[in-house]
Structure 1
Amino acid sequence: MKPLPVLLLLSGVLLCHTGPVLDPVTCDGNDGPGAAHTAMHHIDETHNHGYKFRLNDITSTKVEQVEGGCNWELQLALLETRCSVVNPKQFENCDIRAEHERAVMANCTVMMTVKKGESKVTKYNCNTRQAKTNQEMVRICPDCPVLLPLNNTEGLKSVDQALKTFNQNTTNQHYYILQEVGRIQTSYMFQMGMGYFAEFVLLETRCPRGSRIVLEACKPLCPDRAHRAFCRSSYTTANEAISVECELYSPTNTTALGPGEQEPVCKPPHDGGRGPPPHAGGGGPPPHAHGQGPPPHDGSGGPPHDHGKGRESGKGRGPPFNPHFPRGSFHACRGFLVNPDPALHPICPWPLPEPRSQPRES
């Protein structure tokens, strides 16, 4: 007999923040910390998938004096936090992952101009990687889980089970769909088989809970009116036990609808309602196409409680992703990175290069 799923919903969170007040950056070569602080806020505003990052170290700074101001070049070392980008916390208040949690780091080059007392980040480029490789972690912590690619079939199956469990919660007014998978880890557990530990973001849809509708057909609520849930799940293969813990984030727009008024229909954002469009162009293969099977968000799934058909063979496509977010569970800059780690959400270069134009056939 399979154990009953466990669902724990943490209290809802709504943190309202006005834009941060930043000290002006000067052209004094000793103002590296101020320039780095401004750079970090810009990265936080434009990095719109995966997790928030915090500044760990200022590796180097250069200041070039130009007419009317100066140009800064910063080398910054960043560390990934436990906060999803949908978490309303300021990134400075987020906890950094410990080493045994498979810490992630990013080395960034940031270009900034200062003219007439106003600073502006013009470009940044980051190299995001795991702080320790799997081989290094095995020597340090043999029993620690390892990170899996975000499109791992078994890992996505565990997310699928967690999503179904979440949608069975009677306190939800609407069904939720998967916005993105943040990370998937695995380890062998004695007498319980392989364990899969996932983190992911769910997005509230317009479909009332209990309605008999294909979940993939459910359109999300407008970004400012939708609840989001950041969830952590654990799944063991021996007994197919699933547990889910979620933190629910309230929408920023809580205005009640008037009598007879329907939810507004919004154009789908490119970034889950956070930051500017990524302008991803056509670079690279489709999300999750790392050579490990078809994308899990191809819209071929069944109704809300019928995601498991055909999955026992290991060829499942995973949970239904939000079809209205073209990036699905992966990042927009895959085509612009060299050998990105498929287990991570990297900091994309900003601004993204224009997609290369295809030569015309003569």
Structure 2
Amino acid sequence: MDKSIGTLLLLLSLLSIHTVCEGFALAPVELAPIPCNDKAVEKLSRLAATYINEDRNDGYKFALNRIANVHLHAQGPAGNVYYLDLDVLETKCHISSPKPWKRCDVRPFMETQIAGNCNTTILHTPEGYSYLYSYECTLVPDPPEKLQQTCPTCPLLLPVDSLQAVNAARLTLASYKRQSMLGAGLGVKKITRAAAQAVPVKASFVEYTVQECPEGVTEKGTCQRLTIESDTETAGFCAGSVHGEVHPEVHVACEMLKVQNVDILRPVQPQGHDLPQDPVIPTFPPVIDDPVNDPQPVPFDPTLPPVVEPAPIDPMPTQPLPFDPAVVLNPSNPLSSSSSESAEGLGNRQQPPSAADPFDSSSEEIGGPVALRPPFNFRYQRPDRKRRQALMENTPSHNPIFLSDFPSGPSPFRSCPGPSRYTTV
């Protein structure tokens, strides 16, 4: 008896272990690296750069430089999770610019390039949709010592809150206000980049965003006070430079991202004398030769062609020519009609029309009777879709699993890292 109970317990334990193993069999496939030159990987990498630029709200847009490493976490019916290690470069387009990152110019090394790396996680579903699950980007500018060795006269980066950067932004924005009607009420919102050089001429370079200032601007060029009714969104992006100290030479270029509150679209109203509404056509009285008010006859000009008199109308009625009507109705079937667009002989036209297909009707021509239309209560009967909806409702849902730590390590494939799209120092 004890032996049978022990055997039963052993069978139950084996059954439970088998059930647990079946549960683990449904777990995702183990993480594996894949080549960096795979077509699907290249497409997802470009899509990831687009998603990252759309999600960010500060700084400059990133351009994809190369694919450093890729890991695939296949999860069966839940789809595939891609872990993309991407190298990016900073462009000259602000993040609020509507231009796509593929059309933005990468900042050259003379202006201190900023390169970085983005760890991106993307889910690709079996239906063909891709979703950005997470990303983390780290950017590092080129060291100034390295830039000085390559280009000794190139400008070096400055802190964006330095006095030199603030003065350069104020001078360039004031110059833009004098040149353009759109910058009358603008103020500096945020300085995004600043640089300076000492040789051959002392110069400052600054880039900043602008916004509308309904309450005026301060001495630094920023808004005096922002109210709830005022527009606090970014109105544009400006880049300028100041060369010299005594009589500085200022250059500035701004890209307006929205229409300002400037009255430039109102049509110009006419000024001065009131113009008549309807034009007056001058008339001249006829020439009178005698007191009887008889008009002078028009002299005959032999160069003009002779006037042709119309032919007299014959009082006898004429028989109308036989014609083929556009649409002929069939008395036996009031909804059927036949069209006479084909070129037939005169003898064939006089024959009575044959019964046509009820759906072959052409009653839009002029000159013939119009065929009867469907009744007003006619409604299109949609097919029953309950069966398809039931299948969609019964489809089980699968939730993907994302790793908490981004996978790292060298790739066994020779295609990783991929080739660089841009040249760096």
Q: Place the TM-score, normalised by the shorter chain, in its bin.
A: 0.5 to 0.7
Asked whether the 8 Å contact 2:173–2:252 carries over to 1, the reply is: no
For the 8 Å contact 1:158–1:196, the answer to whether it is kept is yes
2:251 maps to a residue whose letter is V
Residue 120 of structure 1, aligned match among 131, 141, 144? 131
Partners of 2:115 and 2:188 lie apart in 1 by 26
> What residue is the counterpart of 2:65 in the other structure?
56
Q: 1:249 corresponds to which residue?
A: 256
Say whether the 8 Å CA contact 2:165–2:194 is kept in structure 1: yes
Overall identity of the aligned pairs, in %: 19
Q: Counterpart of 1:129?
A: 140
Q: Secondary structure at the match of 1:39?
A: helix
Structure with greater strand percent: 1
Does the 8 A contact of 2:242 with 2:250 survive in 1? yes
TM-score, normalisation: structure 1: 0.55
Aligned to 1:337: none
**SS of equivalent residue, structure 2 residue 224:** helix
Give 3-state SS (helix, strand or coil) of 1:203's partner.
strand
- After the TM superposition, which residues 175-324 of structure 1 pair with which residues of structure 2 at under 5 Å, given as runs? 175-190=185-200, 192=201, 194-206=202-214, 215-219=223-227, 220-221=230-231, 223=233, 227-236=235-244, 238-239=245-246, 241-251=248-258
CA distance in 1, matches of 2:189, 2:48: 27
SS in 1 for 2:80: strand
Deviations 1:95-144 (A, max 9, x none): 111111211111111011222332211111111011x2101111111111
- Larger Rg belongs to: 2
5+ unaligned residues in a row in structure 2: which ranges?
A: 1-32, 267-425
Match of 2:399 in 1: none
**Residue matched to 1:38:** 47
Shift in Å at residue 147 of structure 1?
A: 0.7
| Alpha carbons 1:87, 1:249 under 8 Å: kept | no
Distance, in Å, in 1 between the alignment partners of 2:180 and 2:81 is: 56
Q: 1:235 to 1:50 in 2, by over 3 A?
A: farther
**TM value normalised by structure 2:** 0.47
Note if contact 2:216-2:223 (Cα within 8 Å) is conserved in structure 1: no
* Cα distance change on mapping 1:252 and 1:55 into 2, 3 Å: farther
1:150 aligned to which of 160, 183, 188: 160
Q: Which runs of 5+ in 1 are unaligned?
A: 1-26, 260-362
CA distance in 2, matches of 1:208, 1:182: 22
Shift of 1:162: 2.1
Aligned CA RMSD, in angstroms, stands at 3.3
Greater fraction of residues in helix: 2
Q: Is the partner of 1:127 in helix, strand or coil? A: strand
CA contact (8 A) 2:112 2:156 kept: yes
1:250 Cα deviation after fit: 4.4
Asked whether the equivalents of residues 162 and 242 of structure 1 are also in contact (C-alpha less than 8 Å), the reply is: no
Partners of 2:186 and 2:47 lie apart in 1 by 36
